[in-house]
Structure 1
Amino acid sequence: MIRVIPFFKNIMLTTNQLVIYTCLYITFILNIPFLTKTVAVITALDQYNLLFLISVPFLLLSLSIIVQSFFAFRWITKPLLILIVLSSSLLFYATLNYGIVFDYGMIQNTVETDSAEAFSYFNFSAIFSFLFFGVLPSIFIAKVQLTYSSFFGELFARLKLISGSVGVLLLIAIVFYSSYASVGRNNRDLASYLTPYALIDSTAKYIRKNYLYPPLKFSVLDTKPEIVKPAQNKHVTVMVLGETARAQNFSLNGYDKPTNQYTDKLDVISFANVSSCGTATAVSVPCMFSRLNKENYDKRIAASQQNAIDIIHLAGADVLWVSNNNGSCKGVCNRVKTLKIATDKNNPMCDGEYCFDEALLTPLRQKLTALTHENTLIVLHMIGSHGPTYYRRYPDKNRIFTPDCQRSDIQNCTQDELVNTYDNTIAYTDFVLSRVIDELSSLSELNDVETSMLYISDHGESLGESGVFLHGLPYAFAPKEQTHVPFVYWADSLHQKGRADCVKNVSELNISHDNIFDILLNEMSVKSNTYEVKNNPLNQCKLSSIIAQSANQLTTIGAK
């Protein structure tokens, strides 16, 4: 690299030439994912015009030149072009290798990601790609000599470049307008792959919405929620909040590998048809605890009003949120007691950056042995199956499926290795859930405490299907692997006559994160004006309801 720098110094270009060369590079190299997907869409049509297909990169090139020309003046030209190339090279790698698109949701997820999670994406492939596609072209931009004319000469040259690009743009629009309108209308996701303009647009929207809008006044949805269940026995519900688990890899849901060999023996009930609110933690977690539903969810509104945790706490329950997820609770637990698992190596479950989810069992056990309220809700936030470093989510003793993928550049593993690694994370999650149930069962038997456990994941994960990895795609075109999530239910009351059959019947219903608010309030016996009985599939499975139904059936039989 040292030898090529003097060569760069001998190159003299006008500002227009540097803008054109940079835009050519961005269009034809760094936008390969966009061009590839666009070509696939167009060539899949029953009939298409070859000239229309050829016009696509030239349309993008013209747009790029117009945008970059507005900022190409004197000393700001090179810094801005270098920034564009460096950021575009990162997007290029992420999109090409993982299928990631940087829409608003991904920007939100990126901003709210902690350093340990961010560094998990760095590997030799990523570094090499960044150096080759980002740093090397940036050195060229930095070292070439720009020739300048007078101010008006530069202004006139830029106007000519913009005018020429606008002319090309108009010509393409006039000739192929109907074709672009049709393809764009039926494939709105294509715009999400435009590098770096989708990122710029999404970032601007995120900044405007989160930093420029005034904060909303906090809204109290219910001032007097109350627990209505008679306090004959203490009650404990543990909600285990999973991370990046997809339902189709649960043997409880019919998967052909024994990923649920622990809970399968513990009379759990799996809800097979559950969809998430989003495809990333930053959306799904606050959404599932919010009174808002997926259709009207808005982060600012959700953050400025009571959620299910707040209402349960206000009703008089003791609430504890324990996190082994390096990301925060996304604001959900801000007003209740929280405990974050320390990742230092003093804990045998931790390696300094991450902890295995078994680390959640110690604070759970401590809480269960020192109950202070009649009703207690404990939320255990797992790190679960978070990628791409799936292999760091389970200890060697739980490495069931081999060979697995012991690296973070998962696109370079075989499909079998990748799936085995992911399935190991699911099997380990299942092991931890079985330990949670063991703790609750012991509590019920020894202390006559009513207990239940709910496990649900925030979103799913893609494992290379159709070339897509990880998660975070816009919900409108996200694959089912990212939106179909597991929901597992266990309760000591399932051993009561009739209740297990009732829950099994409703477990086949189509539900979503929208139901969690009401399921939680029902499980904690909280009476609130925010509760919507029709939104709670477990409502009909209350013991009192089952007894009433049985009594009605007996009365009917007697009458006959």
Structure 2
Amino acid sequence: MNSKTISSSEIIINVIKHLTLTSNQLLLLVSAYITLILNLPFLTKSMSAITSLEDYNLLFLLTFPAFLFGLTVILQSLFSFKWLLKPTLIITVLLSALMFYATLTYGVVFDYGMVQNAVETDSAELFSYFNLYAVIFFTVFGVIPAMFIYLVNVTYSPLFKQIINRVKLIVVTLILTVCIGGVFYSNYAAVGRNNKDLISYITPYKFVDSAYKYVRNHYFYPPLKFKLLDTAPQIVKANNNKKVTVFVLGETARAQSFSLNGYQKQTNRYTPKQGVISFNNMASCGTATAISVPCMFSRLDKKEYNKRIATAQQNVIDIVHLAGADVLWVSNNNGSCKAVCTRVKTEKIATDKGNPFCDGEYCFDEVLLQPLRKKLTNLSSDNTLIVLHMIGSHGPTYFKRYPSDKRIFTPDCQRSDIQNCTEQELINSYDNTIAYTDYVLAQVISELAELSNKQNVTTSMLYVSDHGESLGESGVYLHGLPYAFAPQEQTHVPMIFWTNTEQNELNLHCLESVSSNVMSHDNVFDVLLNITSVQTKSYHRTNDPFYNCKSVVIARRSSLNNNQEVTN
């Protein structure tokens, strides 16, 4: 008997090392793994779409995985020659395993918007998705298969013969794939036409295509000349009062979870007492911060929005600043302002543990109140705009978004692998973030109300979230799905407005009457110009739901009605 004990892992490694495959055999084996395992979400959704048809072809259903396998073999064959074979397959498997985890666990789809959001996300936010479950999953489906590819012995024919063999493989696979596609063309066309989102789930090729387009658009296209929408905007004073507007930019808050909008749980305990108006029919521009934030402040609307164009022209923050307002952007969101605040004064909250609201990585949103108070006590302009960018309800670590004394709804989910919490725990955690956001908004309003009482200052607060959030509905978590098929939970966002009634020219009863009108982030540009009293040629009156609620407009309309009565 050997004194040295051989572990089972060493036995497996030795077996793999002594296993010999041709390059084509390895290619076919890995392609089968990518198709049947790592593309399981795509296959599952496709099979569901096919079987949901009233009269579907069983043979089409059975050949569907073969069609995907053929495409995978062809694509991998183009980039997997000799020395590139193992590195290419290893990278493909590791990348696909990450995508498999994200899609299977959270319902994430790696389209262009998700790639942009991932690139522009800071490291602290990315690490919030890592947990023991994720590590085990990635090891099983990514690392172990990658180790197999690395260790297995591959025999390579002479270059010319290797090319001939590869061409034969491609030709045979292509013929079979074309035959399947040709025979069932009408079936593929019908399923594709009615389920346009399916292609977004193909792993990893949709990601590769999106990544290519992102790199091309951001690093290879020449920069556009900066466009001025207005060179001379002006502030129009209704009275001699100073004006302070606070725009609170929310994060990952969905309108359905606000009791202000009819949610059954009391998530808004503070702001209703202060007379806020909730606009309950508001839609976001995107389903991720990287798209929604720059789109929200851009003159471009959702239909025509393009980040490259938007960043090469003035946004509404620029217009307000150029008009003469003192503008300050304060961020408690590590994802930055997405280039919106580039040309104004900014302040980023430090996450040092020395601050009682911070843990070294994140800070509770109450931390925004300190710079707000400092600014309100040192007003240097007759017109001031302060933007407070919250971390809000950003997941998956919802439990890190509210302090323990604001933990209202229990039991809550105290972990990042939220799919392993119960439905009630997850919803309670998220509802706690909304309740805490409401508390912070109430504090902001209190500061503004106090300022109005002490001085002749007209104050207003507008709160708008960038996008919503899925909490497991239909198996989807978090946000970032392509807008075309994103659920309402990700696109229906809250908008809340408050103003000191005695000094503001806006009629609150009128605003209440339009609070259920259909609105979107497209309206934010003009609403913000209205409440900051900025006159500019970039303002579109018909796009401003607040316009008809100005006291001067109401008075003019009343006067016209009276004159008509006299004439009659």
What TM-score do the two structures reach when normalised by structure 2? 0.97
Distance 1:71 1:547 in 2: 71
Give the 3-state SS of the residue equivalent to 2:61 in structure 1: helix
Equivalent residue in structure 1 for 2:197, among 179, 189, 201: 189
Q: Is the 8 A contact 2:21 2:154 kept in 1?
A: yes
Give the 3-state SS of the residue equivalent to 1:327 in structure 2: coil
Give the 3-state SS of the residue equivalent to 2:498 in structure 1: strand
Shift of 1:546: 2.5
Equivalent residue in structure 1 for 2:266, among 258, 272, 290: 258
For residues 125-169 of structure 1, what are the alpha-carbon distances to aligned partners after superposition, in whole Å with 9 as ceiling and x for unaligned? 110011000000000000011111211111111011111110111
Distance 2:561 2:535 in 1: 28
Distance 2:410 2:191 in 1: 44
Asked if 1:476 is matched to 2:465, the reply is no
Equivalent residue in structure 1 for 2:454, among 438, 442, 446: 446
Q: Which amino acid aligns with 1:412?
A: N
Mapping of 1:264-303 within 5 angstroms?
264-303=272-311
For residues 415-439 of structure 1, what are the alpha-carbon distances to aligned partners after superposition, in whole Å with 9 as ceiling and x for unaligned? 1111100000000000000000000
Q: Is the 8 A contact 1:94 1:100 kept in 2?
A: yes
Shift of 1:100: 0.3
Give the 3-state SS of the residue equivalent to 1:403 in structure 2: coil
Shift of 1:388: 0.3
* Match of residue 4 from structure 2: none
Give the 3-state SS of the residue equivalent to 2:54 in structure 1: coil
For residues 78-97 of structure 1, what are the alpha-carbon distances to aligned partners after superposition, in whole Å with 9 as ceiling and x for unaligned? 01100000000000000001
Equivalent residue in structure 1 for 2:364, among 350, 356, 368: 356
Give the 3-state SS of the residue equivalent to 2:501 in structure 1: helix
Distance 1:51 1:443 in 2: 73
Shift of 1:552: 4.7
Equivalent residue in structure 1 for 2:403, among 395, 402, 418: 395
* Match of residue 60 from structure 2: 52
Distance 1:116 1:2 in 2: 37
Give the 3-state SS of the residue equivalent to 1:184 in structure 2: helix
Q: Which amino acid aligns with 2:416?
A: S
Distance 1:136 1:251 in 2: 48
Give the 3-state SS of the residue equivalent to 2:208 in structure 1: helix
Shift of 1:6: 1.5
For residues 18-65 of structure 1, what are the alpha-carbon distances to aligned partners after superposition, in whole Å with 9 as ceiling and x for unaligned? 000000000000000000000110000000001101111101100010
Distance 1:497 1:518 in 2: 16
Give the 3-state SS of the residue equivalent to 1:377 in structure 2: strand
Q: Is the 8 A contact 2:392 2:434 kept in 1?
A: yes
Q: Is the 8 A contact 2:458 2:504 kept in 1?
A: no
* Match of residue 61 from structure 1: 69
Distance 1:203 1:56 in 2: 26
Distance 1:451 1:344 in 2: 31
Mapping of 1:24-63 within 5 angstroms?
24-63=32-71
Distance 1:214 1:515 in 2: 30
Q: Is the 8 A contact 1:494 1:500 kept in 2?
A: no
Distance 2:98 2:27 in 1: 20
User: Unpaired runs of 5+ in structure 1?
Assistant: none
Give the 3-state SS of the residue equivalent to 2:197 in structure 1: helix
Equivalent residue in structure 1 for 2:136, among 128, 138, 156: 128
Asked if 1:339 is matched to 2:340, the reply is no
Mapping of 1:239-254 within 5 angstroms?
239-254=247-262
* Match of residue 524 from structure 2: 516
Shift of 1:495: 7.8
Equivalent residue in structure 2 for 1:232, among 211, 236, 240: 240
Equivalent residue in structure 2 for 1:462, among 470, 474, 497: 470
Give the 3-state SS of the residue equivalent to 1:493 in structure 2: coil
Asked if 1:538 is matched to 2:546, the reply is yes
Shift of 1:548: 3.0
Give the 3-state SS of the residue equivalent to 1:239 in structure 2: strand
Give the 3-state SS of the residue equivalent to 2:108 in structure 1: coil
Equivalent residue in structure 2 for 1:4, among 9, 12, 23: 12
Distance 1:190 1:470 in 2: 19
Q: Which amino acid aligns with 2:336?
A: S
Q: Which amino acid aligns with 1:403?
A: P
Q: Is the 8 A contact 1:287 1:297 kept in 2?
A: yes
Shift of 1:228: 1.3
For residues 164-219 of structure 1, what are the alpha-carbon distances to aligned partners after superposition, in whole Å with 9 as ceiling and x for unaligned? 11011111012101100111111110000000011111111111111111110111
Distance 2:460 2:360 in 1: 32
Shift of 1:549: 3.7
* Match of residue 327 from structure 1: 335
Shift of 1:554: 5.6
Asked if 1:491 is matched to 2:491, the reply is no
Give the 3-state SS of the residue equivalent to 1:88 in structure 2: helix
Q: Which amino acid aligns with 1:321?
A: W
Distance 2:506 2:62 in 1: 66
Asked if 1:526 is matched to 2:534, the reply is yes
* Match of residue 3 from structure 2: none
What count of residue pairs does the alignment treat as equivalent? 560
* Match of residue 94 from structure 1: 102
Q: Which amino acid aligns with 1:270?
A: S
Q: Is the 8 A contact 2:35 2:68 kept in 1?
A: yes
Q: Which amino acid aligns with 1:247?
A: A
Which stretch of structure 1 is more off in the superposition, 430-439 or 61-70?
61-70
For residues 275-326 of structure 1, what are the alpha-carbon distances to aligned partners after superposition, in whole Å with 9 as ceiling and x for unaligned? 0000000000000100000000000000000000000000000000000001
Q: Which amino acid aligns with 1:406?
A: Q
Give the 3-state SS of the residue equivalent to 1:453 in structure 2: strand
Give the 3-state SS of the residue equivalent to 1:279 in structure 2: coil
Q: Is the 8 A contact 1:239 1:454 kept in 2?
A: yes
Distance 1:211 1:239 in 2: 32
Q: Is the 8 A contact 2:63 2:180 kept in 1?
A: yes
Shift of 1:550: 4.2
Distance 1:515 1:102 in 2: 28
Q: Which amino acid aligns with 1:410?
A: I
Shift of 1:4: 2.1
Q: Is the 8 A contact 1:498 1:546 kept in 2?
A: no
Equivalent residue in structure 1 for 2:420, among 403, 412, 419: 412
Give the 3-state SS of the residue equivalent to 1:456 in structure 2: strand
User: Unpaired runs of 5+ in structure 2?
Assistant: 1-8
Q: Is the 8 A contact 1:244 1:457 kept in 2?
A: yes
Equivalent residue in structure 2 for 1:221, among 226, 229, 233: 229
* Match of residue 81 from structure 2: 73
What TM-score do the two structures reach when normalised by structure 1? 0.98
Q: Percentage identity across aligned positions?
A: 62
